[in-house]
Homo-oligomer: A and B are copies of this chain.
Amino acid sequence: MSQKNPDEFRFTPHCHEQLRAIYDTLDLVSGKWRIAVISSLNFLGESRFGELQRIVDGIGAKMLSQVLKELEDNELVIRTVHDTKPVTVSYKLTDYGRTLEKIIEEMASWGLNHRRRILSDRSLEALAESETLSV
């Protein structure tokens, strides 16, 4: 080893910047439910609290409330109160929230392919046992 820190030559400032950008994105988007809520709103366009709770499978009121509040704080989601018989509240993505669409699409596309891969692997394994994916 004649070089003090060989890492630096390959891990350039550009790499560092990319990695930081990825962390910035994850800050807003990671967690068990955030992507599910964002994606649901992306597909539905607009949705009410109760509807979201039925659609985002398994989420409780506490988590849904919390996630929506965080997304609102980050200007990804907008909340609207409607003056209806029992008051209703609807949520939708902001223009800015909609810029996440490409990430969502890439993740959906990758996941679809992954499932096909797993399933075809499994059928090669002569329909034996083992579980990875749920239906």
Interface residues, chain A, with chain B CB atoms under 8 Å away: 7, 10-11, 15, 17-26, 28, 30, 35-36, 39-40, 43-45, 51, 54-55, 96, 99-100, 102-104, 106-115, 117, 133
Contact = CB atoms under 8 A, between A and B. Distances in A.
A51 B7 contact: yes
Sorted nearest first, the 4 A-B pairs with minimum C-beta distance are: A21-B111, A24-B111, A25-B111, A15-B43
The quantity of this chain's copies bound in the complex is 2
Contacts of A100: 110
B99 A110 contact: yes
22 contacts: A10-B43, A10-B45, A15-B43, A17-B112, A18-B39, A19-B108, A20-B111, A21-B111, A21-B112, A21-B114, A22-B36, A22-B107, A23-B111, A24-B111, A24-B114, A25-B107, A26-B107, A99-B110, A100-B110, A102-B106, A103-B103, A103-B106
Contact of A22 (B26, B28, B111, B113): B111
A22 B39 contact: yes
A119 to B, nearest CB: 11
Given A28-B114, A103-B110, 18 more contacts: A10-B43, A11-B55, A15-B40, A15-B43, A19-B36, A19-B40, A19-B108, A21-B111, A22-B39, A22-B111, A23-B36, A23-B111, A25-B114, A26-B35, A96-B117, A99-B113, A102-B106, A103-B103
